[in-house]
A and B are shown apart, each in its own frame.
Chain A
Amino acid sequence: MTAAVLPRPTATVGLSETLRHSFALAGRAVTKVRKNPESLLDVTLQPIIFLVLFVYLFGGAVGGSTDAYLQVLLPGLMVQNIVFASLGTGMALNTDITKGMFDRFRSMPIARSAPLIGAVLGDIVRFVVTLTVLFVFATIMGFRVQTDPGRFLIAVVLLIAFGLCLCWVSVWVGMLVKSPQAVPGTLVAFMFPLTFGSNAFVPADTLPGWLKAWVDINPVTHLTDAGRGLLLGGEWVGSAAIAFAWAIGIAAVFLPLALRGYRKRLG
């Protein structure tokens, strides 16, 4: 026998308990990644493919030279990969629901929101992995940060914060669709215009007016501008503020939608 003593039942779950439960569940997500490194293929292989493809195929044509293009491309690719990495949250949650993990959690005296918050926090791992792979590979190919480590760190924090807000779109879709595989299918339709309809890959000046109008308001454009400012030098505060406002706005819309979907899905 162990000396384990369980706390007595309480009527509701407090904030500190909610956080403790969420961190325990985020820990689960991290353990899963450690045990199944292949689950990271999408956030490791994909950035490398994009990097090589864009730099060597389009670099000369779009950016004048592959070296010059790599410098402006990397901040944009970082944003794009954060956007794609956020797909994982909805898939993971949908898997948990269809496989019955959520029923296990919901039959326990833990905060209702903890499994959702835990999954979103666990995604920070995927964000860090995808950014690290991208950055290391780009460095090998010749990318150099032209500012300082402080601004580099701000860029990383900004990207992850954006990803954490965007996650809720993925959570919402995860609550709506029947199978985990339907999550990327549904979200790609939203992510392609978001990432490619921006200044991440090409300068916006050559685009037709209607497309340029979208590019100018697209949060990915502003986050890319902020990333370029932070990594290559130049103005970044204004773009970062607009990107951040977008992130907050996305979370403000999709977090409640995701919670509503969660309640509806699970009765």
Chain B
Amino acid sequence: MSYAIEAEGLVKRFGSTVALNGVDLAVPTGKVLGVLGPNGAGKTTAVRVLATLLRADEGWARVGGYDVATQQNSVRSLIGLTGQYASIDEDLSGTENLVLLGKLLGLSKANAKARAAELLAKFELTDAAGRAIKTYSGGMRRRADLAASLVGRPDVLYLDEPTTGLDPHSRNEVWSTVRGLVDDGVTVLLTTQYLEEADQLADLITVIDHGKVIASGSPHELKRRTGGQSLQVRPTVAADTAAVATILRDLTGTEPQVDADAGLLSTAVDNPLLLSALVRKLDEAGITADELGLRLPSLDEVFLSLTGRTTPIPEGSPA
């Protein structure tokens, strides 16, 4: 397998603070890596090192086979960056921003204009093309940022918290754009605090905390590895709850968790065959269920078990 991004042992210190404490990363070409972690975990620092904006104190990283420390210009010609910081000029219009970036990338004026129009159309910003960026809404602004990072047709795209602060509609738009880019063969490194975002977009997930990688794998692997499965039952009649609890206790030997408000019982299981046993027992007892099944833990539960704390999800953000 070829890797678009590879890094090993990245260390970055700011004074006495250790932002990265030996981070290894690998993103296969054409895949999406979700870098997950709480605020201050080192996600942004990692992106800045991989985007040649910061020099690591130790370790190495290669993007498209080029070393980020010694072949910066080659790396820069391959990457696009959209994030909390890599910004566009608020005083200029959408078109003016993109044309400027096109010219800096060596396009002729005519080609830079054509590329700008093409990208603005792709991001549904054609109507706002002539307006200053400062008049854009949050979602439009983020799309314009994304368009700016695509002027040079990057092979590798860094998205640093691309949907933080966006409403669900704008967030879905960003997601579908990212999926479209991946279909075109772009390799994406995405940092996020939102587990759902990583679950939706990422082929691979690396969880960073305190500057260290604490877990990595596919979303499915992570869920399986850390949480195990759980068996969930929601009886049709709430009065059956006690009877169902007894059946579950007999099957697993442990006391099930009962969510009385939702009328939901759940219990951790290690043997998937228990599901058919449960169905038989419920049938024998004459109990019907609205909901019945095995499920993997959510990424939130994975994150909790890995870091010992829940992710800090701000008010009003996608959950």
Contacts and interface: CB of A to CB of B under 8 A. Distances in A.
Given A24-B104, A103-B53, A109 B87 contact: no
Contact of B91 (A1, A36, A103, A106): A36
Contacts of A106: 52-53
A7 B107 CA distance: 8
Contacts of B153: 6
**Most A CB atoms within 10 A — which of B85, B104, B112, B148?**
B104
Contact of B87 (A2, A31, A104): A104
A114 B100 CA distance: 13
A207 to B, nearest CB: 44
B132 A35 contact: yes
B86 A24 contact: no
**Most B CB atoms within 10 A — which of A9, A12, A101, A104?**
A104
Contacts of B86: 100, 103-104, 107
B106 A6 contact: yes
B106 A7 contact: yes
A3 B112 CA distance: 10
Chain B interface size, as a band, is 35 or more
Contacts of A107: 51-53, 76, 79-81, 86
B166 interface: no
A101 B148 CA distance: 11
A11 interface: yes
Given A9-B74, A35-B132, A267 B53 contact: yes
A11 B71 contact: yes
A254 to B, nearest CB: 25
B105 A6 contact: yes
A25 B104 contact: yes
Contacts of B76: 107-110
A99 B87 contact: yes
Contacts of B52: 106-107
Interface residues of A, number: 36
B53 A12 contact: no
B53 A1 contact: no
B91 A104 contact: no
B118 interface: yes
Contacts of B53: 103, 106-107, 266-267
A32 B92 contact: yes
**Most B CB atoms within 10 A — which of A5, A21, A103, A107?**
A107
A32 B87 contact: no
A98 B9 CA distance: 30
Contacts of A12: 73
A99 B84 CA distance: 10
A261 interface: no
Interface string B58-76: 0000000000000101101
Contacts of B107: 4, 6
A75 to B, nearest CB: 34
B104 A21 contact: yes
A10 interface: yes
A108 B55 CA distance: 16
A4 B90 contact: no
B152 interface: yes
Contacts of B252: none
8 contacts: A4-B112, A9-B78, A10-B77, A25-B100, A27-B100, A32-B89, A108-B76, A109-B73
Interface of B: 48, 51-55, 71, 73-74, 76-81, 83-92, 96, 100-107, 111-112, 114-115, 118, 132, 148, 152-153
Given A4-B114, A103-B85, A103-B86, 20 more contacts: A4-B102, A4-B111, A5-B111, A6-B77, A6-B107, A6-B152, A10-B73, A11-B73, A21-B104, A28-B89, A28-B92, A32-B91, A32-B92, A35-B91, A104-B88, A105-B104, A107-B53, A108-B152, A109-B76, A267-B48
